[in-house]
A and B are shown apart, each in its own frame.
Chain A
Amino acid sequence: ETGVTQTPRHLVMGMTNKKSLKCEQHLGHNAMYWYKQSAKKPLELMFVYSLEERVENNSVPSRFSPECPNSSHLFLHLHTLQPEDSALYLCASSQLHGTGNEQFFGPGTRLTVL
């Protein structure tokens, strides 16, 4: 079982659709992250769940809504997106409160908003 999995790998949606991205980690970590990576831009941290508590980046529009039902699963619910939201969405996990808290990334979901 690979460390961090994401589904779907590719998603095309219209601006009026509602969809969800799913992330699952099998590493026993206690923190999970959503990142957005647009073409030729650095990784942008969207949300962090630490010990199942959300730490929110205030600059993220409300059309993105995260959910973390337990320490292994993370969702990103999408609704009424805009074409500029098209990007690679990466999930990551790490172990906090110890040394070497490197983040392990999933393969990402390539999202296209028409």
Chain B
Amino acid sequence: GQNIDQPTEMTATEGAIVQINCTYQTSGFNGLFWYQQHAGEAPTFLSYNVLDGLEEKGRFSSFLSRSKGYSYLLLKELQMKDSASYLCAAGGYGQNFVFGPGTRLSVLP
């Protein structure tokens, strides 16, 4: 079966660092994706990992361990505008691509 698990909610302070974890079990694997979704808006693509290790993109980094079925998204120097839901997605092609429930991050001043 397919299953993706993330924490439901997280809170952090402006300027801090936060790590959002994701564990997955999927049929087929073509990569692990992270999306950001602000309330009432569509998800936007943040990062993609297909090999083990850390991918860094500005203030955002994403890590993948395929053997453990585990990923995390690291957000540095948090800003108020980073308050959003962060969706982990994994799987193969087409219908085998599954989104997690999302983690709602609140950044406090």
- Give me the interface of A with B, judged by CB distance under 8 Å: 31, 41-43, 45, 48, 50, 55, 57, 88, 90, 94, 96-97, 99-108, 110
Contact = CB atoms under 8 A, between A and B. Distances in A.
B20 to A, nearest CB: 15
A42 B42 contact: no
Contact of B30 (A101, A104, A106): A101
A97 B95 contact: no
Contacts of B98: 45
B105 to A, nearest CB: 15
A105 B93 contact: no
B57 to A, nearest CB: 13
Nearest to A50: B94
B55 to A, nearest CB: 12
10 A-B pairs closest in CB distance: A105-B42, A42-B101, A43-B99, A50-B94, A48-B94, A55-B95, A102-B45, A48-B95, A96-B93, A108-B42
A54 B40 CA distance: 28
A86 B95 CA distance: 23
Contacts of B45: 102-104
A102 B33 contact: yes
Contact of A101 (B31, B41, B100): B31
Contact of B93 (A43, A50, A88): A50
Contacts of A90: 42-43
Contact of A57 (B87, B95, B97): B95
Interface string B66-89: 000000000000000000000101
Contact of A105 (B44, B50, B95, B102): B44
B63 interface: no
